[in-house]
A and B are shown apart, each in its own frame.
Chain A
């Protein structure tokens, strides 16, 4: 297994540290004590059956869901009820959603410049210049003045990635970014994500794209019943899984 791309990156200090994170929805326990550390410039792919808590976990990292026990420290700031900490972390953690969640009433350009202007207080022309640079990077500068409804799914997801990058985040969270896409559009989004990984972005990716996991990930986490059942390099994971549940899951999807 060629893991050359990941090897070119040198990992830095821990940037996301989770310790015994627990979360309940009513009387259903979604997270049963997740302990994990993600290092700077690391690409972590999280897989697992649906309902296993993998999405809930990464949504806890920018506080879209509040965890109830344990601690989450992002870039040295602990996530608590303190609104100031939450705002700081959210502006440093970008997130890409399964359903894109672009703002349909704003043009592509305005979608991207909204947060830099109002959170980072960037001047409009500066924000627009950087937005165009990002659109160039994700390959759709010609769509800048269109509305999201006029774009294909793949293009929308690339705009969503550009929108997150506009905040110059230190970590990017991807919550099943290709699950709502037609098969022929998955590749264009994965290519953008690969490029991002090569550029040294810290990424946590929930996905069912095993090819992406094999090719790009530094580490793979396997989630089941609210905990990390097994973790390791893609090589270890796909060729020599240890745990029965991992084996069962892989046999079902591969």
Chain B
């Protein structure tokens, strides 16, 4: 007896959806990589043909760049100069983001206020600021500050606050020699305080009595801060510990660095893949993987291997440092880590704690300073080294981006609060919750979910807009880079550094915002 087996018709390759999908993925990947390779080789060829050198020597070459403000006003190398610019940019971006968020929230809530005057003021602020180009506003703040009177011989003396066309000088508190040991005490206090506050919250939940968690937290931190102020030198035993770690790191062979990078890359790729498989596992058993899922797994594995290999390749690159030494990148990284521990050790050094720094600052964790106006060089009145001096360019760019971004944040906050339905407020009120309670537990948590993604956009905009500082000669990474381009002609590498920097900053902000966004997502069916 013969059984007639019905032959299954085989799908031809060009109609097989799975094959087509994989082919498409690979073709896209290959063409993107190919396009980049082509562009890069063409660019290199053109650079050579037009005699423009392309290199990274400017990073370690001594430079004549003088920077008007920052952590180092006469950096010894291009890399150091760029670092000063980066720190300046980050100062504007981070403090701008914080202040713009606070200001924007206040104005956004103000625009919803039933108080007519507050409401109208908020509206006028928003409509004026967001309808004028940011660059014009930066010029406006710059012009406004430059119009201030200049410093004369009559201004010599000490001040709490002094405004002039040299900038704004104000009394300020600075970290001093004993700052790090003291900060250690404060951080320990913070940890203890948070632990106690958590216990108090639980007590409040369990018994219904007020727990005063916030007061406990503040009190404990204060106690630790006061004890730490006097007891900070006790931590000087950490000096030899950290210095020892630094010496130890310097003595390990340089090849360990790329090995660690490779291990971390491959292990984290492995962990990611394992986590991914776990996420596809259902109680019923292992879920079916789609083609996209396999693509992700393979891509993650490949990425891990590529990073591991790059670690060895780049780690082997040798460059000449400012002092003329030739070191491999791996050795440089080792030196950097070792130096960090040496620095940490020195921070806890009792000698450092007692030594008066630069003849200006006293010992102690913090120092309070008032600015002075004094005669510098050929008898020109200038701000002295003490106190906080905000230069005109910093003021212009900071005020510009902060005020501008705050207007947009205000609209986002207003929209977020309005988007929480009126029914939520009514339901909470009907339960007898008073305004402060329902805002805290019902309205704001929901508004925050709506506000977060567009808020992240505004943070990105603010960070990127700091590059407009170039227009008022603020020494940010773009301005410093421009100077280096003018001096060395290395425009392409400098632009690459700019792009890498802004990309890093933006991706970091994105990652933080996305993390919170995922955490806050509403659970639905």
Residues of A within 8 A of B (CB): 62, 64, 87, 90-91, 93-95, 97, 99, 101-105, 114-115, 117-119, 121-126, 146-147, 149-150, 160, 163-164, 167
Q: A146 to chain B: which residues have CB within 8 Å?
A: 523
Offer 9 A-B interface pairs, CB within 8 angstroms, sorted by A. A64-B426, A64-B429, A87-B432, A101-B423, A102-B427, A103-B442, A114-B431, A115-B431, A146-B523
Give the CA-CA distance A103 to B431 in the complex, in Å: 12
Q: Specify the chain A residue showing the minimal Cβ separation from B520.
A: A105
Q: A97 to chain B: which residues have CB within 8 Å?
A: 423, 426-427, 430
Closest CB in chain B relative to A222 CB, distance in Å: 25
What string of 1s and 0s marks CB contacts (under 8 Å) between B491-516 and chain A? 00000000000000000000000000
Within 8 A of A (CB), among B388-432: 421, 423-424, 426-432
Q: In the bound complex, do residue B431 and residue A167 qualify as a contact, i.e. CB atoms below 8 Å apart? A: yes
Within 8 A of A (CB), among B420-448: 421, 423-424, 426-434, 437, 441-442, 445-446
Give the CA-CA distance A231 to B441 in the complex, in Å: 41
Give the CA-CA distance A97 to B430 in the complex, in Å: 10
Q: Specify the chain A residue showing the minimal Cβ separation from B206.
A: A123
Q: B51 to chain A: which residues have CB within 8 Å?
A: none
Q: In the bound complex, do residue A95 and residue B524 qualify as a contact, i.e. CB atoms below 8 Å apart? A: no
Q: B432 to chain A: which residues have CB within 8 Å?
A: 87, 90-91, 115, 119, 167
Q: A121 to chain B: which residues have CB within 8 Å?
A: 208
Q: In the bound complex, do residue B426 and residue A118 qualify as a contact, i.e. CB atoms below 8 Å apart? A: no
Q: In the bound complex, do residue A147 and residue B524 qualify as a contact, i.e. CB atoms below 8 Å apart? A: yes
- Contact partner of A104 (CB less than 8 A), chosen from B429, B430, B437, B522, is B522
Q: Specify the chain B residue showing the minimal Cβ separation from A152.
A: B525
Closest CB in chain A relative to B387 CB, distance in Å: 47
Q: In the bound complex, do residue B524 and residue A118 qualify as a contact, i.e. CB atoms below 8 Å apart? A: no
- Contact partner of B446 (CB less than 8 A), chosen from A87, A91, A105, A119, is A105
Q: In the bound complex, do residue B426 and residue A119 qualify as a contact, i.e. CB atoms below 8 Å apart? A: no
Interface contact tally, CB-CB below 8 A? 86
Q: A104 to chain B: which residues have CB within 8 Å?
A: 446, 522, 524
- Contact partner of A123 (CB less than 8 A), chosen from B208, B429, B522, B525, is B208
- Contact partner of B524 (CB less than 8 A), chosen from A64, A114, A122, A150, is A150
Q: Which of B432, B441, B445, B525 has the most chain A CB within a 10 Å cutoff?
A: B432
B205 at the interface (CB under 8 A from A): yes
Closest CB in chain B relative to A38 CB, distance in Å: 17
Closest CB in chain B relative to A61 CB, distance in Å: 10
7 nearest A-B residue pairs (beta carbon): A91-B432, A149-B524, A101-B427, A115-B431, A124-B205, A95-B430, A101-B423
Q: In the bound complex, do residue B208 and residue A117 qualify as a contact, i.e. CB atoms below 8 Å apart? A: yes
Q: A101 to chain B: which residues have CB within 8 Å?
A: 421, 423-424, 426-427
Residues of B within 8 A of A (CB): 205-208, 421, 423-424, 426-434, 437, 441-442, 445-446, 449, 522-525
Give the CA-CA distance A103 to B426 in the complex, in Å: 11
Q: Which of A90, A91, A95, A104 has the most chain B CB within a 10 Å cutoff?
A: A104
Give the CA-CA distance A119 to B428 in the complex, in Å: 11
Q: B524 to chain A: which residues have CB within 8 Å?
A: 104, 147, 149-150
Q: B427 to chain A: which residues have CB within 8 Å?
A: 95, 97, 101-103, 160
Q: Is the interface of B mostly helix, strand, loop or mixed?
A: helix
Q: A95 to chain B: which residues have CB within 8 Å?
A: 427, 430
Q: Specify the chain B residue showing the minimal Cβ separation from A114.
A: B441
Q: In the bound complex, do residue A164 and residue B431 qualify as a contact, i.e. CB atoms below 8 Å apart? A: yes
Q: A102 to chain B: which residues have CB within 8 Å?
A: 427
Q: In the bound complex, do residue B523 and residue A150 qualify as a contact, i.e. CB atoms below 8 Å apart? A: yes
Q: A94 to chain B: which residues have CB within 8 Å?
A: 430-431
Q: In the bound complex, do residue A149 and residue B431 qualify as a contact, i.e. CB atoms below 8 Å apart? A: no
Give the CA-CA distance A90 to B432 in the complex, in Å: 5
Q: In the bound complex, do residue B437 and residue A118 qualify as a contact, i.e. CB atoms below 8 Å apart? A: yes
Q: Specify the chain A residue showing the minimal Cβ separation from B207.
A: A123
Q: A119 to chain B: which residues have CB within 8 Å?
A: 431-433, 437
Give the CA-CA distance A64 to B430 in the complex, in Å: 7
Give the CA-CA distance A62 to B431 in the complex, in Å: 10
Closest CB in chain A relative to B183 CB, distance in Å: 36
Give the CA-CA distance A117 to B206 in the complex, in Å: 10
Q: In the bound complex, do residue B433 and residue A114 qualify as a contact, i.e. CB atoms below 8 Å apart? A: yes
Q: Specify the chain A residue showing the minimal Cβ separation from B205.
A: A124
Q: B205 to chain A: which residues have CB within 8 Å?
A: 117, 123-124
Q: In the bound complex, do residue A118 and residue B441 qualify as a contact, i.e. CB atoms below 8 Å apart? A: yes
Q: Which of A94, A95, A105, A149 has the most chain B CB within a 10 Å cutoff?
A: A105
- Contact partner of B449 (CB less than 8 A), chosen from A64, A105, A124, A164, is A105
Q: A64 to chain B: which residues have CB within 8 Å?
A: 426, 429-430
Give the CA-CA distance A167 to B431 in the complex, in Å: 7
Closest CB in chain B relative to A203 CB, distance in Å: 15
Q: A163 to chain B: which residues have CB within 8 Å?
A: 431
Q: A160 to chain B: which residues have CB within 8 Å?
A: 427
Q: Specify the chain A residue showing the minimal Cβ separation from B435.
A: A83
Q: Which of B428, B430, B522 has the most chain A CB within a 10 Å cutoff?
A: B430
Given A87-B432, A91-B432: 5 more A-B contacts, CB < 8 Å = A105-B445, A115-B431, A117-B208, A124-B206, A163-B431
Give the CA-CA distance A115 to B437 in the complex, in Å: 9
Q: B434 to chain A: which residues have CB within 8 Å?
A: 87
Q: B523 to chain A: which residues have CB within 8 Å?
A: 146-147, 149-150
Closest CB in chain A relative to B393 CB, distance in Å: 44
Give the CA-CA distance A104 to B433 in the complex, in Å: 17
Q: B426 to chain A: which residues have CB within 8 Å?
A: 64, 97, 101
Q: B445 to chain A: which residues have CB within 8 Å?
A: 105
Q: Specify the chain A residue showing the minimal Cβ separation from B432.
A: A91
Give the CA-CA distance A146 to B524 in the complex, in Å: 9
Closest CB in chain B relative to A168 CB, distance in Å: 11
Q: A91 to chain B: which residues have CB within 8 Å?
A: 431-432
Give the CA-CA distance A150 to B437 in the complex, in Å: 26
Q: A117 to chain B: which residues have CB within 8 Å?
A: 205, 208
Give the CA-CA distance A94 to B428 in the complex, in Å: 11
Q: A90 to chain B: which residues have CB within 8 Å?
A: 429-432
Q: In the bound complex, do residue A103 and residue B424 qualify as a contact, i.e. CB atoms below 8 Å apart? A: yes
Give the CA-CA distance A64 to B428 in the complex, in Å: 11
Q: In the bound complex, do residue A149 and residue B424 qualify as a contact, i.e. CB atoms below 8 Å apart? A: no
Give the CA-CA distance A192 to B403 in the complex, in Å: 55
Closest CB in chain A relative to B439 CB, distance in Å: 12
Q: Specify the chain A residue showing the minimal Cβ separation from B434.
A: A87
Give the CA-CA distance A117 to B445 in the complex, in Å: 18
Give the CA-CA distance A149 to B427 in the complex, in Å: 17
- Contact partner of B208 (CB less than 8 A), chosen from A87, A105, A122, A147, is A122
Q: B429 to chain A: which residues have CB within 8 Å?
A: 64, 90
Give the CA-CA distance A148 to B437 in the complex, in Å: 21
